[in-house]
Structure 1
Amino acid sequence: MSNSKPTMFLQDTSEVEKVFQRFDRNGDGRISADELKDVLKALGSTSSPEDISLMMQEIDIDKDGYINLKEFSSFIKPKESSDGGINELKEAFDMYDENHNGLISANELHQILNQIGQSCTVQDCEKMIKTVDADGDGCVSFDEFKVMMSNNNK
Protein backbone atom coordinates (compact mmCIF):
# COMPACT_ATOMS: atom_id res chain seq x y z
CA MET A 1 0.00 0.00 0.00
CA SER A 2 1.36 3.41 -0.95
CA ASN A 3 0.68 6.53 1.11
CA SER A 4 1.61 10.18 0.73
CA LYS A 5 5.20 11.07 1.46
CA PRO A 6 5.03 13.62 4.28
CA THR A 7 8.26 15.39 3.39
CA MET A 8 7.47 18.89 4.64
CA PHE A 9 3.79 18.53 5.47
CA LEU A 10 2.71 21.64 3.61
CA GLN A 11 -0.68 21.28 2.02
CA ASP A 12 -1.90 24.85 1.81
CA THR A 13 -0.55 27.15 -0.92
CA SER A 14 -0.11 30.01 1.54
CA GLU A 15 1.98 27.75 3.82
CA VAL A 16 4.21 26.82 0.87
CA GLU A 17 4.61 30.50 -0.04
CA LYS A 18 5.53 31.44 3.55
CA VAL A 19 8.23 28.78 3.70
CA PHE A 20 9.49 29.80 0.25
CA GLN A 21 9.74 33.44 1.40
CA ARG A 22 11.81 32.37 4.42
CA PHE A 23 14.27 30.65 2.08
CA ASP A 24 14.21 33.61 -0.34
CA ARG A 25 16.04 35.95 2.03
CA ASN A 26 16.57 38.78 -0.48
CA GLY A 27 12.96 38.67 -1.71
CA ASP A 28 13.78 38.34 -5.41
CA GLY A 29 11.29 35.51 -5.95
CA ARG A 30 13.87 32.78 -6.29
CA ILE A 31 16.16 30.77 -4.03
CA SER A 32 19.87 30.78 -4.80
CA ALA A 33 22.34 28.11 -3.75
CA ASP A 34 23.68 30.50 -1.07
CA GLU A 35 20.18 31.05 0.33
CA LEU A 36 19.56 27.31 0.39
CA LYS A 37 22.91 26.78 2.14
CA ASP A 38 22.08 29.45 4.76
CA VAL A 39 18.70 27.91 5.59
CA LEU A 40 20.12 24.40 5.83
CA LYS A 41 22.89 25.71 8.09
CA ALA A 42 20.27 27.39 10.33
CA LEU A 43 18.54 24.01 10.56
CA GLY A 44 21.77 22.43 11.77
CA SER A 45 22.78 20.77 8.52
CA THR A 46 26.45 20.60 7.64
CA SER A 47 25.81 20.15 3.93
CA SER A 48 28.91 20.32 1.76
CA PRO A 49 29.03 22.56 -1.32
CA GLU A 50 28.64 19.36 -3.36
CA ASP A 51 25.47 18.45 -1.42
CA ILE A 52 24.04 21.94 -2.03
CA SER A 53 24.87 21.63 -5.72
CA LEU A 54 23.12 18.25 -5.95
CA MET A 55 20.04 19.64 -4.17
CA MET A 56 19.93 22.60 -6.55
CA GLN A 57 20.22 20.26 -9.55
CA GLU A 58 17.37 18.12 -8.24
CA ILE A 59 15.00 21.01 -7.48
CA ASP A 60 15.94 23.50 -10.27
CA ILE A 61 13.83 21.97 -13.04
CA ASP A 62 14.33 24.77 -15.57
CA LYS A 63 18.12 24.74 -14.89
CA ASP A 64 18.41 28.53 -14.51
CA GLY A 65 20.50 28.21 -11.34
CA TYR A 66 17.68 29.21 -9.02
CA ILE A 67 14.63 27.61 -7.39
CA ASN A 68 11.40 29.44 -8.15
CA LEU A 69 8.13 29.05 -6.25
CA LYS A 70 6.74 26.50 -8.73
CA GLU A 71 9.86 24.32 -8.49
CA PHE A 72 9.86 24.65 -4.70
CA SER A 73 6.19 23.69 -4.52
CA SER A 74 6.73 20.65 -6.73
CA PHE A 75 9.66 19.55 -4.60
CA ILE A 76 7.89 19.71 -1.24
CA LYS A 77 4.50 18.38 -2.30
CA PRO A 78 3.87 14.87 -1.02
CA LYS A 79 5.06 12.20 -3.43
CA GLU A 80 4.40 8.50 -3.53
CA SER A 81 6.75 6.42 -1.40
CA SER A 82 7.09 2.66 -1.17
CA ASP A 83 7.51 2.76 2.62
CA GLY A 84 4.54 5.04 3.16
CA GLY A 85 6.87 7.94 3.97
CA ILE A 86 8.18 6.41 7.21
CA ASN A 87 11.85 7.11 6.37
CA GLU A 88 11.14 10.76 5.57
CA LEU A 89 8.97 11.07 8.65
CA LYS A 90 11.76 9.62 10.80
CA GLU A 91 14.24 12.09 9.28
CA ALA A 92 11.90 14.98 10.14
CA PHE A 93 11.42 13.65 13.67
CA ASP A 94 15.17 13.25 14.13
CA MET A 95 15.73 16.86 13.08
CA TYR A 96 13.61 18.01 16.04
CA ASP A 97 14.94 15.35 18.45
CA GLU A 98 18.29 17.08 18.92
CA ASN A 99 19.48 14.99 21.87
CA HIS A 100 18.41 11.77 20.09
CA ASN A 101 16.51 10.35 23.07
CA GLY A 102 13.46 9.42 20.98
CA LEU A 103 11.38 12.34 22.27
CA ILE A 104 10.82 15.92 21.18
CA SER A 105 10.71 18.23 24.18
CA ALA A 106 9.26 21.74 24.29
CA ASN A 107 12.81 23.11 24.48
CA GLU A 108 13.91 21.19 21.38
CA LEU A 109 10.82 22.30 19.47
CA HIS A 110 11.38 25.89 20.61
CA GLN A 111 15.01 25.86 19.49
CA ILE A 112 14.27 24.47 16.01
CA LEU A 113 11.29 26.74 15.38
CA ASN A 114 13.32 29.79 16.35
CA GLN A 115 16.21 28.67 14.12
CA ILE A 116 13.85 28.64 11.13
CA GLY A 117 12.43 32.05 11.99
CA GLN A 118 9.26 31.13 13.86
CA SER A 119 9.02 33.34 16.93
CA CYS A 120 7.41 31.48 19.79
CA THR A 121 8.00 30.90 23.47
CA VAL A 122 8.79 27.64 25.24
CA GLN A 123 5.28 27.92 26.73
CA ASP A 124 3.82 28.09 23.20
CA CYS A 125 5.75 24.92 22.36
CA GLU A 126 4.48 23.22 25.51
CA LYS A 127 0.92 23.99 24.37
CA MET A 128 1.65 22.61 20.89
CA ILE A 129 3.07 19.42 22.38
CA LYS A 130 0.14 19.02 24.75
CA THR A 131 -2.24 18.76 21.76
CA VAL A 132 -0.50 15.56 20.52
CA ASP A 133 1.00 14.17 23.74
CA ALA A 134 -1.12 11.03 24.08
CA ASP A 135 0.79 9.56 27.04
CA GLY A 136 1.07 12.83 28.99
CA ASP A 137 4.86 12.78 29.38
CA GLY A 138 5.26 16.36 28.11
CA CYS A 139 7.12 15.24 24.99
CA VAL A 140 6.28 13.95 21.53
CA SER A 141 7.36 10.38 20.76
CA PHE A 142 7.81 9.12 17.21
CA ASP A 143 4.44 7.34 17.37
CA GLU A 144 2.72 10.56 18.49
CA PHE A 145 4.59 12.44 15.75
CA LYS A 146 3.35 9.95 13.13
CA VAL A 147 -0.25 10.41 14.29
CA MET A 148 0.12 14.19 14.25
CA MET A 149 1.57 14.21 10.73
CA SER A 150 -0.99 11.78 9.34
CA ASN A 151 -3.74 14.02 10.75
CA ASN A 152 -2.12 17.07 9.12
CA ASN A 153 -2.12 15.32 5.75
CA LYS A 154 -5.83 14.50 5.73
Structure 2
Amino acid sequence: MDFAEQMFKKYDQDKSGSLQMQEVYDCLQSLGTKFSQKDIQIIVQAFDDNKNGVLDYNEFEQLVYILQNINNISIESVLFYKADSDKNGVIDVNEFMNIMKSLQVQMPDEKLKNFAIQMGAATDGIGFENFTNLITKMKVLM
Protein backbone atom coordinates (compact mmCIF):
# COMPACT_ATOMS: atom_id res chain seq x y z
CA MET A 1 0.00 0.00 0.00
CA ASP A 2 1.52 3.33 -1.01
CA PHE A 3 1.53 6.52 1.03
CA ALA A 4 -1.46 8.13 -0.71
CA GLU A 5 -3.54 5.00 -0.23
CA GLN A 6 -2.58 4.77 3.46
CA MET A 7 -3.54 8.40 4.05
CA PHE A 8 -6.77 8.04 2.10
CA LYS A 9 -7.86 5.00 4.11
CA LYS A 10 -6.85 6.62 7.40
CA TYR A 11 -8.78 9.84 6.78
CA ASP A 12 -11.85 8.38 5.05
CA GLN A 13 -13.41 8.29 8.50
CA ASP A 14 -16.94 7.53 7.33
CA LYS A 15 -15.65 4.82 4.93
CA SER A 16 -17.55 6.42 2.04
CA GLY A 17 -14.76 5.83 -0.48
CA SER A 18 -14.19 9.56 -0.78
CA LEU A 19 -12.78 12.36 1.33
CA GLN A 20 -15.05 15.20 2.36
CA MET A 21 -13.63 18.68 2.86
CA GLN A 22 -13.04 18.23 6.61
CA GLU A 23 -11.32 14.89 6.02
CA VAL A 24 -9.02 16.51 3.43
CA TYR A 25 -8.32 19.34 5.88
CA ASP A 26 -7.49 16.91 8.70
CA CYS A 27 -5.26 14.85 6.41
CA LEU A 28 -3.29 17.81 5.08
CA GLN A 29 -2.93 19.29 8.58
CA SER A 30 -1.45 15.97 9.74
CA LEU A 31 1.16 16.31 6.99
CA GLY A 32 2.22 19.67 8.41
CA THR A 33 0.68 21.90 5.78
CA LYS A 34 -0.66 25.28 6.83
CA PHE A 35 -3.71 25.39 4.55
CA SER A 36 -6.72 27.28 5.85
CA GLN A 37 -10.27 25.94 5.53
CA LYS A 38 -10.71 28.32 2.57
CA ASP A 39 -7.55 26.92 0.93
CA ILE A 40 -8.89 23.38 1.37
CA GLN A 41 -12.15 24.42 -0.27
CA ILE A 42 -10.20 25.76 -3.26
CA ILE A 43 -8.04 22.62 -3.41
CA VAL A 44 -11.07 20.33 -3.35
CA GLN A 45 -12.68 22.38 -6.15
CA ALA A 46 -9.51 22.15 -8.24
CA PHE A 47 -8.96 18.41 -7.78
CA ASP A 48 -12.61 17.29 -7.79
CA ASP A 49 -12.67 16.30 -11.46
CA ASN A 50 -16.19 14.84 -11.39
CA LYS A 51 -17.56 17.82 -9.40
CA ASN A 52 -19.29 15.78 -6.72
CA GLY A 53 -17.92 17.93 -3.88
CA VAL A 54 -15.53 15.30 -2.48
CA LEU A 55 -12.22 13.73 -3.51
CA ASP A 56 -12.22 10.12 -4.61
CA TYR A 57 -8.98 8.16 -4.39
CA ASN A 58 -7.68 9.07 -7.88
CA GLU A 59 -8.34 12.77 -7.28
CA PHE A 60 -6.66 12.58 -3.86
CA GLU A 61 -3.71 10.68 -5.31
CA GLN A 62 -3.07 13.56 -7.78
CA LEU A 63 -3.00 16.00 -4.87
CA VAL A 64 -0.62 13.84 -2.81
CA TYR A 65 1.68 13.40 -5.82
CA ILE A 66 1.92 17.17 -6.24
CA LEU A 67 2.48 17.75 -2.52
CA GLN A 68 5.29 15.17 -2.51
CA ASN A 69 7.01 16.74 -5.52
CA ILE A 70 7.04 20.47 -4.81
CA ASN A 71 9.41 22.33 -2.54
CA ASN A 72 7.36 25.35 -1.52
CA ILE A 73 3.93 24.07 -0.49
CA SER A 74 1.31 26.79 -0.90
CA ILE A 75 -2.18 26.98 -2.35
CA GLU A 76 -0.74 28.84 -5.33
CA SER A 77 1.94 26.25 -6.08
CA VAL A 78 -0.51 23.35 -5.70
CA LEU A 79 -2.87 25.01 -8.19
CA PHE A 80 -0.03 25.76 -10.62
CA TYR A 81 1.08 22.13 -10.75
CA LYS A 82 -2.52 20.93 -11.01
CA ALA A 83 -3.07 23.32 -13.94
CA ASP A 84 0.17 22.39 -15.72
CA SER A 85 -1.27 19.15 -17.08
CA ASP A 86 1.47 18.63 -19.70
CA LYS A 87 4.17 19.26 -17.06
CA ASN A 88 6.14 21.69 -19.22
CA GLY A 89 6.51 24.33 -16.50
CA VAL A 90 4.08 26.90 -17.94
CA ILE A 91 0.32 27.25 -18.26
CA ASP A 92 -1.12 27.51 -21.78
CA VAL A 93 -4.55 28.89 -22.68
CA ASN A 94 -6.36 25.54 -22.39
CA GLU A 95 -4.73 24.71 -19.06
CA PHE A 96 -5.64 28.16 -17.76
CA MET A 97 -9.24 27.76 -18.90
CA ASN A 98 -9.46 24.31 -17.30
CA ILE A 99 -8.16 25.39 -13.89
CA MET A 100 -10.37 28.48 -13.85
CA LYS A 101 -13.42 26.34 -14.67
CA SER A 102 -12.52 23.82 -11.99
CA LEU A 103 -12.27 26.71 -9.51
CA GLN A 104 -15.70 27.85 -10.71
CA VAL A 105 -14.48 31.32 -11.64
CA GLN A 106 -17.56 33.22 -12.77
CA MET A 107 -16.31 34.88 -15.95
CA PRO A 108 -17.39 34.34 -19.56
CA ASP A 109 -15.08 32.00 -21.49
CA GLU A 110 -14.08 34.70 -23.95
CA LYS A 111 -12.97 37.03 -21.15
CA LEU A 112 -11.03 34.23 -19.46
CA LYS A 113 -9.34 33.36 -22.74
CA ASN A 114 -8.43 37.01 -23.41
CA PHE A 115 -7.11 37.33 -19.87
CA ALA A 116 -4.93 34.23 -20.35
CA ILE A 117 -3.61 35.61 -23.64
CA GLN A 118 -2.79 38.96 -22.00
CA MET A 119 -0.82 37.08 -19.35
CA GLY A 120 1.24 35.35 -22.05
CA ALA A 121 -0.49 31.97 -22.24
CA ALA A 122 -0.68 32.04 -26.05
CA THR A 123 3.02 32.74 -26.56
CA ASP A 124 5.48 31.58 -23.90
CA GLY A 125 2.84 30.42 -21.43
CA ILE A 126 2.06 31.74 -17.97
CA GLY A 127 5.02 31.08 -15.72
CA PHE A 128 4.95 30.06 -12.09
CA GLU A 129 5.47 33.55 -10.67
CA ASN A 130 2.78 35.22 -12.78
CA PHE A 131 0.31 32.42 -12.08
CA THR A 132 0.91 32.43 -8.33
CA ASN A 133 0.57 36.23 -8.21
CA LEU A 134 -2.73 35.94 -10.06
CA ILE A 135 -4.06 33.24 -7.72
CA THR A 136 -3.03 35.27 -4.68
CA LYS A 137 -5.06 38.20 -6.00
CA MET A 138 -8.00 35.99 -7.02
CA LYS A 139 -8.27 34.20 -3.66
CA VAL A 140 -10.31 37.09 -2.31
CA LEU A 141 -12.85 36.46 -5.09
CA MET A 142 -13.06 32.69 -4.56
Verify same fold: TM over 0.5.
no
Higher percent of residues as strand? 1
TM-score range, shorter chain: 0.3 to 0.5
Higher percent of residues as helix? 2
With CA pairs under 8 Å and 6+ residues apart, which has the higher RCO, 1 or 2?
1
Structure number, greater radius of gyration: 1
TM-score normalised by length of structure 1? 0.39
TM-score normalised by length of structure 2? 0.41
